[in-house]
Amino acid sequence: MNKRQIAVVTGAAKGIGKAITGRLIADGFFVVAVDVDDENGKKLLDEYGEAQITFAKTDICNEKDVQQLFEGVLTKYHSVDVVVNNAGIIRDNMIWKMSVEDFDSVINVNLKGAWLMCREAARIMKEQKSGRIVNIASRAWLGNRGQSNYSASKAGVIALTRVLALELGKYNVSVNAVAPGLIDTPLTQSLSNEVLEKLIAAQPTREMGKPADVANVVAFLVAEQTQFITGQTIYVDGGKNIGAGI
């Protein structure tokens, strides 16, 4: 790299987002860590130091917040080279039990939030004629019982990725998605042993993935050598997208 590149990562304070942040820092990027979690965001800043990272508390569902985020990054660092849309929430339930509020909240964060981030990134990257966008989707877009809101949001993220690859390709901007499956995060650690054992048993690999497994694919997609890859969805799920292992 001729200059230190600037990467913006949402949902950066813990889990997969934290792993992505650490990997990009290790690869020489300066990371703007975006999250609504003040406490863990400050811990991230303490861990890596101001020479490698800054923390930006941002509600990605809020248009003005997102616009101000990118205006601030551009003013201070003069470019936005990579955007990783990782922030997401779940509100699982069978559809006959799911509230409109739980549907809306998941769509707002997982899809609208990613769309707002992509729109601002696209405006900047189109002008600078370079950039990488990586959207963290999920294997769940293929369908999971009890996740009509979450699965729909992640299917939307994959469709968004494909559209933006078409729209931004001629401006030297690549857009790809990563679809994790069962990953060892604070969320999965909160599941009961019985539920977790069943999920692991359905894996062809009979094990969970690690946040680093996702981070490694993100690092691959933002590397200079992979510019010709765009519009793709890469599964990081131990083969689960092929079918259950039992």
To the query of whether residue 150 is one of the catalytic residues in this protein, the response is: yes
The DSSP code for 171 is: G
The DSSP code for 147 is: B
Is the distance from CB of 174 to CB of 214 less than 8 angstroms? no
- Which member of 48, 77, 150, 171 is catalytic? 150
The DSSP code for 189 is: H
The DSSP code for 183 is: B
Helices 113-128 + 148-168 axis angle, to 10: 10
The set of residues, in sequence order, having a beta carbon less than 8 Å from that of 189 and lying 6+ positions away, is none
Rounded Cα gap, residues 187 and 31, in angstroms = 24
The Cβ-side half-sphere exposure at 112, using a 13 Å CA radius, reads: 13
Which residues are identified as catalytic? 150
